Structure 1
């Protein structure tokens, strides 16, 4: 019998949880905690191994925090890949939540060891590494899933399904913004993440554009079903002086010819995690705000505006309902989106390990090709900015 996504999303289909390892995510790593919480809440994973920090003391302390046995807490990701691949009860997938310049070598090591990979964004720094990782994933046939959690909010999937069903007609324009304020003032010397995010030797050709712009691009592409054909980008420093951009304005032309605008900044005082989407079509519009994730504004042309609220029924489409866990009035948030993401990855890994094709299951995974598109987006923005803001195309599909 084939695995199905029609049952409760958080029911492990193999009758057990899958074994998961972590690279990175130790004490002091907020992103790692998001990943780990999502994996646990999904009910698809047991975290059993880790190389949680390059600092041995932090790695050991973090392993104790996560109840990882001493013999499965590793000093390096290479030792972890080799040891876990040799165990009968070795990990079945690994989450890599380390800075992006480390991703290629780490992901390659685990794929070569026969272990499925869950990878934070952006996938890698260079187009060459992106193409090499796509090639390796296709050669191994393993799962490589990117973690874009915002598209796992039920109301984002509702928006995607409404666009696909023609409920706003052909997409005519789209506006996405991801607006934060943490880079407005001088860098906090205790915030190590700020330092490496502004180091061209580590993050490559863009800072804010790679860090949060990739989320904005992915959200646009996911909801509209249209990729960006061309773009023009301007990079700016709008906060305290720094070596790389904290702000980008990106005009886009979608594959269907529609225009769009992405505003990306980490230097807008009073904004925290303002990922907002507005899609305008021939017969209506949709608006969604990550800081108020349970509501979707639907404005049919020449008809009353509707506020759709996460839950079951009352305008929710069945495929979006599959991401709903709690009834209306009991708030779901980003932690639930992370859990939905890890549940769908769990279904994909379970399918592959039981001899099935994950892509035949109707899942919404962002795979290695989607990761490569994110890298192409960052490079196209950098190309345009460096050429004085001219129009450029995105790199061809890997």
Structure 2
């Protein structure tokens, strides 16, 4: 074990700035992580499953709950699945929740679970965008860790407030940038960080979808709110899939996005918000790039593609072929690294892999990786364990705030006819 990766237990960290209810639960709990934890080895099993709450009962909540269960580290025990009491109770039955822990408001859920002797260890927030901030704030204040869908908030001031609240309450806060949790994305990040492509000189990312091509799709209930500025915020395409693209570029390159030039378009049927965006981008060190996103590209279902080129080579990854990573060193034969144990996959990436090469994994497993890392972060927080910064790589609240800053900059640029603006 590396000296910097030795376990350090601090009972005080469990109580730092924590509400009284959290202190009681912390004091009553047993250690979740093994005492001989090796941060360089495979992820450990916890001494018990963590208790997960759900706010928002839409389709993505079911996807994430499935992924959380897949890890073996979580069980869903409480939820505010609708603001309508009868609908919330009915959904609670379908989720096999105790009726006493099926709530019709996140405020009631946060207050009750904070005082419950077996209260939730964390909560997933999968509501429409405008509810992310108040819900996340309520659970942080109650001493409960959070994982929130992106965009983190609709307003940049709210994003900064959640960063501050996370620090003040000393909770774990994850953000649903799941695309960064595919093993081959982690491998791409490893190659770039190790200098495998030399000095980065350009970054290109695009997210092409086709589900908005039919005009009638805008009338679907799960689509209407995405086109309503009061709920979705000032953007639709940019805040939804553009933020995935921007985060992926920053995550793999390790560079901050500093400037952008954006043009919003409605390429299909008339809509109150954009369905397409074209951007020129600049990253730290004046590295240039492009970012494009649309929901009107027939033939593209999950067309998220990342290409990073440097002075010595390049990496390319495609969501629709997510198990493979193209890696080129200029003047050498192209290499294709595939997900699975061995095959030049870094050890810290191998521990994210659940099946051998030839047995495909996909988006559910990527979500499971996010929830597995979140579980370990929550467990370390509750045990008072200080973990090395490179142990877990899930997106945190700061990444969510960066995403909101990206959206804000895109809106400002588009409003000034595509001028360059700072992020």
TM-score category by the smaller chain?
over 0.9
Looking at structure 1, the residues matched to 295 and 284 of structure 2 have their Cα atoms a distance apart, in angstroms, of 28
Per the alignment, residue 136 of structure 1 pairs with: 165
Structure 1 segment 1-398 matched on structure 2, within 5 A = 1=7, 3-9=37-43, 11-13=44-46, 15-25=47-57, 29-188=58-217, 191-357=220-386, 360=389, 362-394=391-423
Provide, for residues 71-93 of structure 1, a one-character-per-residue CA deviation record: whole Å limited to 9, x for no partner: 11111111111111111111111
Unaligned runs of 5+ in 2: 1-6, 9-36
SS in 2 for 1:132: helix
SS in 2 for 1:91: coil
Looking at structure 1, the residues matched to 152 and 387 of structure 2 have their Cα atoms a distance apart, in angstroms, of 20
TM-score under structure 2 length normalisation? 0.89
TM-score under structure 1 length normalisation? 0.95
Provide, for residues 367-389 of structure 1, a one-character-per-residue CA deviation record: whole Å limited to 9, x for no partner: 11111100000000000010111
Q: Give 1:184 deviation, angstroms.
A: 2.1
SS in 2 for 1:365: coil
- 2:114/2:144 contact within 8 Å kept: yes
Note closer, same or farther for the CA distance 1:291–1:119 as it changes in structure 2 (3 Å cut): same
Note closer, same or farther for the CA distance 1:359–1:244 as it changes in structure 2 (3 Å cut): farther
- 2:212/2:218 contact within 8 Å kept: no
- 1:5/1:361 contact within 8 Å kept: no
Note closer, same or farther for the CA distance 1:163–1:32 as it changes in structure 2 (3 Å cut): same
Looking at structure 2, the residues matched to 16 and 268 of structure 1 have their Cα atoms a distance apart, in angstroms, of 45
SS in 1 for 2:150: coil
SS in 1 for 2:165: helix
Provide, for residues 48-75 of structure 1, a one-character-per-residue CA deviation record: whole Å limited to 9, x for no partner: 0001122333322222222111111111
SS in 2 for 1:291: helix
Provide, for residues 3-52 of structure 1, a one-character-per-residue CA deviation record: whole Å limited to 9, x for no partner: 5444443x433x11111100012xxx221111101110011111100011
